[in-house]
């Protein structure tokens, strides 16, 4: 109901602009704003773009062929809308392409398991590998672990703790007695400490342990990185170089673990295909609507383009990508001659350390010096509800003015904080803030982002809340329009940061170097 109400309000307010053009409302109405809202609501391309990017191309791991496909797709889309765009090379990365992952339990009974190889995992060389599953043992110390290691030969080794419950805490909160919820948490904490200690006693770090198992001749490494929500696991990168590392859902991992523990010797079959594709080039896709009065001053719409690859990167950062593409499309249509140049940056390899945007900042000092504003979005599908001044002393003045042009239902929920503190990371706006350029994060309502979609196997098209994304596209387009039109160049004055523990004022973050050669050494 609420969504329908929002849409209705938007439609009504856009019509009102035409109907009451002569009324006292007209003072506040701006035809460009009206047209942005109208285009976004009546001719939205978001669902189509979302389908093409998330379903057809899929996840966008740095160095993968899908990342390259996405860059080429974006350039073609922009060209189709009459916007000039190009892929700008900034580095190189290990090329890797995900193939199938099939994991089945074949003893003591047969069950297909939900799981997949991690990014950059070695495959099984076209074969299906069948072997016993064993649990990482609880040994006295690293000497005892070295003695155990040879027994890992030919086995799949479980290296994650077996979670005591697959129910998220909010579910316990709702239904458990207070006593049993407290007891579960206490037991789980103790178990978590004991598992950390078990890992420590091997003498290996979490990064080195899979390699030690590989060296000992293990068939593969099996883990489960539960994201604390029903069915959700986080899927990152593998450390093994020759044997597969697979992540298995909490439910199936627990099954294997309990069977191994009770002496039923589970056996699994794993087929993992992965292709090393050599050195691949890494890019940012940059689109441009040239400014007519101040072409050398820039408003930048910003969202990273890459993703992890357990899901399809729908909310991290498919939605930010859609917001900025749609905003550009709308601006080109209803505001084709901006005063300042409007750029869009779809950055590569944010997930490995803001690499694409850091490279852009390093490679384009002439642009960075003349940035009017950067608007970045990268925390899920929700409506924007927070906007910080990022420590810029006068951001309240211009952001406040620009926001006043945004339709009330979109503007009112946005909590502003001024001057705020400069972001040191988290997403690409930080690359610009570090260089002293006014850059802001359009921060979203969370929609269980951290638990269910952020870097998980559940970050898929169906999690996109298109009405919220539409609202964000309208917001981004209006802010870019306002920043472009503003007669004044934005102030870069920095606020004095709060004193640290030693009584010294905090320091503004320093620009950091991108990694321009990743995963290759």
Alpha-carbon Rg for the chain, nearest whole angstrom, is 25
* Residue indicated by tokens 């199936």: 252
- Which range binds Zn ion by CB under 5 A, 204-212, 222-230, 308-316, 482-490? 308-316
Binding-site member from 34, 39, 306, 316 for Zn ion (CB under 5 A): 316
Identify which of residues 203 and 425 has a Cβ nearer to Zn ion in the complex: 425
**Shortest CB 70 distance to Zn ion, Å:** 14
Q: Does 306 bind Zn ion (CB under 5 A)?
A: no
Least CB distance to Zn ion at residue 317 (A): 4
Task: Output 213 or 303, the one with its CB closest to Zn ion.
Answer: 303
Residue 389-418 contact track with Zn ion, rule CB under 5 A, x = bound: ------------------------------
Distances 80 to 35, 292, 511 between C-alpha atoms, Å: 20, 22, 35
Identified binder of Zn ion from the candidate list 41, 269, 317, 451, rule CB under 5 A? 317
CB of 304 to Zn ion, least distance (A): 5
> Which residue lies nearer to Zn ion by CB, 352 or 482?
352
Secondary structure element (H or E) that encloses residue 416, with its range: strand 415-417
280 binds Zn ion (CB under 5 A): no
In the complex, the smallest distance separating the C-beta of residue 427 from Zn ion, rounded to whole angstroms, is 6
Residue 302 lies near Zn ion (rule: CB under 5 A): no
Extract the tokens encoding 255: 């099954």
Q: Based on CB atoms, which residue is closest to Zn ion, 39 or 351?
A: 351
Shortest spacing between CB 351 and Zn ion, in angstroms = 7
Give the span between the Cα atoms of 509 and 435, in whole angstroms: 8
Determine phi and psi for 292, rounding to 5 degrees: -95, -35
CA dihedral 380, 386, 391, 394 (to 10 degrees): 130
Looking at the Cβ atoms of 214 and 378, the one nearer to Zn ion is 378
Please identify, using beta-carbon distances, which residue of 317 and 471 lies nearer to Zn ion.
Answer: 317
Least distance (Å) between residue 158 CB and Zn ion: 30
> Among residues 141, 121, 161, 310, which one has the least CA distance to residue 234?
310
Q: Could you say which residues in the range 150-209 bind Zn ion, by CB under 5 A?
A: none
Q: Closer CB to Zn ion, residue 285 or residue 341? A: 285
List C-alpha distances in Å: 232 to 229, 248, 339, 452, 501.
6, 10, 46, 6, 39
User: Binding-site residue total for Zn ion (CB under 5 A)?
Assistant: 3
CB-side exposure of 76: number of CA atoms within 13 Å? 9
Binding status of residue 441 toward Zn ion by CB under 5 A: no
The CB-of-95 to Zn ion minimum distance in angstroms stands at 22
Give residue 263's region: left, alpha or beta (phi > 0; psi -120 to 50).
left
Could you tell me which of 442, 327, 302 has the C-alpha nearest to residue 382? 442
Interface map 359-378 toward Zn ion (x if CB under 5 A): -------------------x
Please provide residue 313's backbone torsions phi and psi, each rounded to the nearest 5 degrees: 60, 40
Distance in Å, CB of 55 to Zn ion, minimum: 19
User: Checking DSSP bridges between strand 245-248 and strand 517-518, what pairing results, if any?
Assistant: unpaired
Contact criterion met (CB below 8 Å) for 281 and 71? no
**Any idea what DSSP says for residue 480?**
H
CB of 315 to Zn ion, least distance (A): 9
Of 279, 326, 239, 303, the closest CA to residue 89 belongs to: 279
Distance CA 202, CA 518 (A): 29
Q: Which is nearer to Zn ion, 464 or 478 (CB)?
A: 464
CB of 431 to Zn ion, least distance (A): 13
* Binding mask of the shown chain, residues 452 to 491, with x at each position contacting Zn ion by CB under 5 A: ----------------------------------------
Burial class (CB in 10 A: 0-12, 13-18, 19+), 48: exposed
| Smallest distance, Zn ion to C-beta of residue 316, A | 4
Residue nearer to Zn ion on the CB measure, 257 or 305: 305
- What are the residues whose beta carbons fall under 8 Å from the beta carbon of 117, sequence distance 6 or more? 98, 101, 123, 238, 244, 245, 246, 247, 272, 274
C-beta closer to Zn ion: residue 103 or 374: 374
Q: Which residue, 317 or 460, is less far from Zn ion as judged by CB?
A: 317
User: Site residues (CB under 5 A) for Zn ion?
Assistant: 316-317, 378
């Amino acid at each position: 109901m609420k969504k329908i109400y929002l849409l209705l309000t938007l439609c009504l307010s856009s019509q009102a602009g035409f109907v009451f053009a002569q009324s006292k409302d007209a003072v506040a109405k701006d035809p460009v704003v009206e047209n942005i809202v109208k285009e976004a609501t009546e001719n939205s391309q978001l669902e189509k773009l979302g389908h093409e990017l998330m379903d057809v191309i899929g996840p966008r791991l740095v160095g993968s062929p899908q990342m390259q496909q996405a860059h080429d797709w974006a350039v073609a889309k922009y060209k189709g809308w009459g916007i000039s765009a190009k892929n700008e090379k900034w580095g190189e990365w290990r090329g890797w392409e995900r193939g199938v992952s099939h994991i089945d339990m074949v003893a003591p009974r047969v069950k297909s398991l939900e799981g997949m190889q991690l990014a950059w995992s070695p495959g099984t060389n076209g074969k299906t590998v069948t072997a016993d599953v064993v649990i990482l043992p609880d040994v006295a110390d690293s000497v005892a672990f070295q003695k155990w290691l040879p027994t890992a030969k030919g086995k799949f080794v479980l290296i994650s703790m077996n979670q005591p419950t697959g129910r998220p805490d909010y579910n316990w909160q709702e239904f458990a007695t207070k006593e049993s919820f407290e007891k579960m948490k206490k037991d789980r904490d103790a178990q978590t400490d004991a598992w950390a200690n078990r890992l420590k006693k091997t003498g290996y770090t979490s990064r080195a342990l899979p390699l030690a198992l590989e060296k000992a001749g293990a068939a593969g490494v099996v883990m489960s990185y539960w994201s604390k929500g029903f069915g959700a696991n986080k899927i990152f990168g593998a450390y093994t170089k020759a044997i597969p590392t697979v992540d298995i859902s909490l439910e199936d991992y627990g099954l294997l673990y309990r069977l191994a523990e009770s002496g039923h010797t589970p056996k699994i079959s794993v087929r993992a295909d992965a292709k090393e594709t050599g050195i691949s080039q890494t890019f940012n896709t940059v689109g441009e609507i040239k400014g007519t009065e101040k072409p050398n001053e820039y408003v930048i719409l910003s969202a990273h383009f890459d993703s992890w690859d357990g899901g399809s990167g729908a909310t991290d950062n498919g939605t930010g990508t859609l917001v900025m593409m749609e905003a550009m499309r709308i601006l080109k249509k209803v505001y084709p001659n901006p005063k300042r140049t409007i750029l869009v940056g779809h950055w590569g390899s944010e997930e490995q350390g803001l690499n694409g945007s850091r490279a852009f900042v390093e490679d384009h000092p002439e642009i960075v010096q003349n940035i009017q504003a950067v608007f970045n979005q990268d925390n899920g599908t929700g409506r924007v509800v927070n906007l910080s001044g990022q420590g810029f002393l006068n951001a309240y003045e211009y952001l406040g003015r620009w926001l006043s042009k945004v339709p009330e239902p979109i503007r009112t929920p946005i909590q502003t904080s001024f001057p705020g503190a400069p972001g040191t990371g988290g997403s690409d706006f930080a690359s610009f803030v570090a260089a002293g350029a006014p850059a802001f994060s359009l921060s979203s309502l969370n929609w269980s982002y951290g638990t269910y979609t952020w870097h998980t196997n559940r970050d898929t098209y169906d999690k996109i809340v298109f009405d919220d994304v539409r609202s964000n596209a309208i917001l981004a387009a209006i802010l870019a329009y306002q920043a472009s039109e503003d007669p004044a160049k934005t102030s870069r004055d920095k606020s004095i940061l709060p004193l640290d523990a030693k009584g010294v004022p905090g320091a503004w973050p320093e620009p950091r170097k991108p990694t321009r050669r990743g995963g290759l050494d």
